[in-house]
Amino acid sequence: FLPHLIASMEQVEETYVMVKPDGVQRGLVGEVISRFEKKGFKLTALKLFQCPKELAEEHYKDLKSKSFFPKLINYITSGPVVCMAWEGVGAVASARKLIGATNPLQAEPGTIRGDLAVQMGRNVVHGSDSPENGKREIGWTYKMTQDTSIVEVPCRLRTQRH
């Protein structure tokens, strides 16, 4: 009965999940949403959003010293992202499990990155790593952003690019 007791003590949390520009361009938004819906989490916020450079740098500020940081900022600001808040018991850790390891080649099959990606720099989705960061990230990208204008999705342009 111990696992049940521990589970019942777990908190209802909100986590921030973001489909990154590659996921939006590849048409994987529905796939990502579907996995969180099927798991049983509740979608409480959703927004298509073009992340400004300053916000991307704030979002990934812990990685500032890394050699891949400039590339990461270019990646995240390269097109619209889909920002979501998902609510549920233990949502933060569970979302990280559904998403899988940072390196898609090491991510287990059955996870989003394990099934849908091959490159660390194109790993489709972001998930908060703690409840505190969940709150913070939801705040700055969704709730605090007043601009609700719809940005153009590069998917429409994809055929013109090649």
| Range 60-79, binding ligand IDP (CB under 6 A) | 63, 68, 72
53 known member of a binding site: no
Q: Going residue by residue from 120 to 149, which x/- string records binding to Mg ion, judged by CB under 5 A? A: ---------x--------------------
* Residue 46 contact partner, candidates Mg ion, ligand IDP, none, CB within 5 to 8 A by sort of partner: none
CA separation for the pair 59, 20 (Å, rounded): 13
DSSP 90: T
* Residue 120 contact partner, candidates Mg ion, ligand IDP, none, CB within 5 to 8 A by sort of partner: ligand IDP
CA separation for the pair 132, 15 (Å, rounded): 9
135 known member of a binding site: no
Tokens of 91: 């949502």
DSSP 21: H
Region of 9-17, 34-42, 123-131, 143-151 interacting with ligand IDP (CB under 6 A): 123-131
DSSP 78: S
CA separation for the pair 16, 86 (Å, rounded): 7
Residue 133 interacts with ligand IDP (CB under 6 A): yes or no: no
Strands 81-89, 42-49: pairing kind: antiparallel
* Residue 93 contact partner, candidates Mg ion, ligand IDP, none, CB within 5 to 8 A by sort of partner: none
